[in-house]
């Protein structure tokens, strides 16, 4: 699966700085984006949907400002990791905020929901999905995701079983 040209042209390297639980936030994501690498953070690192929305506002505001001040800079988009599992009572509200603020890339975990794909595609965003095995990769492809993130052994959260 090749990177969409619209994304590849914005990157200095084809990398995503992983959305790390309790570590990744706007400061880290902004620093990555300003260097041409996709910066990301989990929506749940912000403890409320209201706080999450303030992070999205900060990301959009600061990246817009940076682009205006540095018109020749290669600025990468940012990504938000959504846990789309029934145990996450916030995922639908957080998805609505991603749509409202047009998050460029949404990384889904623990469920390849075509509802997410449709919502994010409605404004031109991309959806990548974390998978730990071939079965889940096929389900994600069937849901229409734009990219697959193969999670290897040693990764955080729901780590895969294959050594990278």
**CB half-sphere exposure, 124, CA atoms < 13 A:** 5
Domains (range + CATH), the chain: 11-150 (3.20.20.70)
The predicted structure's pLDDT at residue 6: 72
Per-residue pLDDT reduced to its tens digit, 17-57: 989 888 999 999 999 999 999 999 999 999 999 999 999 99
pLDDT score, position 101: 98
31: enclosing H helix or E strand: helix 26-34
**Which has the closest alpha carbon to 111: 127, 122, 98, 93?**
127
CA neighbours within 13 Å on the CB side: how many for 151?
A: 21
Q: What is the pLDDT of residues 78-101, one digit of tens each?
A: 999 999 999 999 999 999 999 999
């Amino acid at each position: 699966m090749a990177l969409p040209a619209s994304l590849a042209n914005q990157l200095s390297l084809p990398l995503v700085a992983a959305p790390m639980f309790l570590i990744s936030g706007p400061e880290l994501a902004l620093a990555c984006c300003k260097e041409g690498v996709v910066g990301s953070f989990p929506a749940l690192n912000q403890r409320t949907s209201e706080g999450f929305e303030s992070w999205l506002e900060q990301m959009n505001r600061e990246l817009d400002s940076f682009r205006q001040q540095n018109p020749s800079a290669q600025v990468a988009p940012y990504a938000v990791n959504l846990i789309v599992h029934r145990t996450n009572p916030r995922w639908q509200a957080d998805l609505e905020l991603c749509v409202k603020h047009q998050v460029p890339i949404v990384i889904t975990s623990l469920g390849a929901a075509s509802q997410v794909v449709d919502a994010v595609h409605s404004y031109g965003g991309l959806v990548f999905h974390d998978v730990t095995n071939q079965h889940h990769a096929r389900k994600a492809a069937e849901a229409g995701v734009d990219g697959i993130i193969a999670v290897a052994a040693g990764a955080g959260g729901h780590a895969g079983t294959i050594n990278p």
